[in-house]
Amino acid sequence: MKRTTPIREKEPRSLGALIRAWRERALLTQEQLADRAGVNVRTIGRIEGDAVGRPRSASLRRLAEALGLDGRERALLAAAACREPVRQDSEAASVRVGSACRCRSHRWRSRLDAWH
């Protein structure tokens, strides 16, 4: 008998792909997520479509809260927002959000750290 190993899909890497995957996991429409996060539904659509260069940290914080993201997921979110790779090892869950992201703007990093 042949054993099969389930194929793991590659984790989405873009900010839009991450937000969309987490929204779908939560079984939310874009409208429902927008309501929960207190942001405009067009903002959700633009973020998911990767049409936003650098979203506001307050919007991302609200989205993270509305989606119930854990520490590792928030680190992934922060890294994707800064377009930086994030570590995938076991330490990723304990990484402070701003530490996962080396944004050029110190102000942006400190706002991301406030999420954790």
Tens-level pLDDT at each residue, the chain (116 residues):
444 433 344 555 789 999 999 999 999 999 999 999 999 999 999 999 999 878 888 999 999 999 999 999 999 998 898 876 555 543 444 444 444 444 544 444 555 555 55
In a domain, 20, yes or no: yes
Q: Find the domain containing 26 and state its range.
A: 15-113
In a domain, 8, yes or no: no
In a domain, 67, yes or no: yes
CATH code at position 23: 1.10.260.40
Q: Helices (DSSP H) in the chain: which residue ranges?
A: 15-25, 30-37, 41-48, 57-67, 71-81, 106-113
Sign of the C-alpha dihedral computed for residues 74, 79, 83 and 86 taken in this order: negative
